[in-house]
Amino acid sequence: MAKDIGIENTAGAIKHQAVALRVSGDMAIFHNCQFDGYQDTLYVHAYRQFYRDCTITGTIDFIFGDASSVFQNCNMIVRKPMANQACMVTAQGRKDRRGVGAIVMQNCEIRAENEFISAQPAINAYLGRPWKEFSRTIIMQSLIDGFIDPQGWSVWAGDFALNTLFYAEYENRGIGANSNNRVNWRGYKKNIGQEVAAGFAPGVFILADEWVGLSGVPYESGLNTL
C-alpha cells in the first residue's frame, strides 16, 4: 500500500511515452497519492488494484493497462499536449474476451487544467480509446467536465476493436456526461443500468471487502445511493 506520496515523470510532453508508475502486484492500494506525467502516466499493468482519493494527470492514454483497477473518488486532470495531439484519459488493454481486466472509475472527477482549456485552437479530448481488442472501461457516478468531446470515445486505428470492446457509462454528471451524441459502436453502452454497474463496484469486481477493508483505507463497497 502507498499513501500520501507523489510520483512524477518529468520528461514532458515532447518525450512521448513516459511512464511515471507501473503497478503489477495483486491487491495494490494507493490512497491520497498523485501521479503526474504526460503520455502514459500510470500503467495499471496487472492484477487487482484500488485507488482512492488520488490525482492522475496526463495527456495521451495516461491511465492504461489491463489490471482489474478501480479508481474511487479520484481526480483525472487532462494537461495540454503537443501541437496536433488529442488527449485520451484511458487506453485499456484487455486482449481476451474472458479476461478479467478493466479500468473502472467511480465517483471520480474528469477535468482539464487551465492551460488546456485556454488553448487555441481548441484541443480534442476523449474518455478513452481501445489499446487492445477487448478493451474494457466503465465510468460511473462520476463528474465529466465539458471539455470532453461529445462523442465521448475515440478510435485507436480505423474500426479496430469497435465491435469487441466494452465501454460503458452509468449515472455520470457534468456537461461532458451528456450522452446524446456519443459514439454509435456495437461495443459502447450508453447506460448499463444498475445491475450491471453494481458488478463493477469494488466489493464485487475486485472483492475489495476481503482486502481493501482490512487496510484501513476508506472505500465504498457498492454503488453510491442517494
The per-residue pLDDT for 22 is 98
Question: Phi and psi (nearest 5°) for 166?
Answer: -135, 100
Place of cell 486482449: 95
Please report whether residue 217 resides in a domain.
Answer: no
Q: Which residue is catalytic, options 36, 40, 53, 61? A: 61
Place of cell 463528474: 143
Please report whether residue 224 resides in a domain.
Answer: no
Query: What average pLDDT does this structure show over 198-219?
Result: 98
**What does R_g of the chain's alpha carbons equal in angstroms?**
16
Model confidence at 217, pLDDT cuts 50, 70, 90, reads very high
Q: Which region, left, alpha or beta, applies to residue 181 given φ > 0 means left and ψ of -120 to 50 means alpha?
A: alpha
Please report whether residue 220 resides in a domain.
Answer: no
pTM over 0.85: yes
Question: Phi and psi (nearest 5°) for 81?
Answer: -90, -175
Place of cell 481493501: 212
- Helix (H) or strand (E) holding 51, with range, is strand 48-52
Instruction: Check if 149 is active-site.
Output: no
pLDDT at position 206 over 70: yes
Please report whether residue 101 resides in a domain.
Answer: yes
Please report whether residue 223 resides in a domain.
Answer: no
Contact predicate 170/197, CB 8 Å: yes
Quote the domain boundaries for residue 39.
2-210
Please report whether residue 215 resides in a domain.
Answer: no
DSSP string, 102-129: EEEEES-EEEE-HHHHT-SSPPPEEEE-
Model confidence at 90, pLDDT cuts 50, 70, 90, reads very high
Question: Phi and psi (nearest 5°) for 106?
Answer: -130, 130
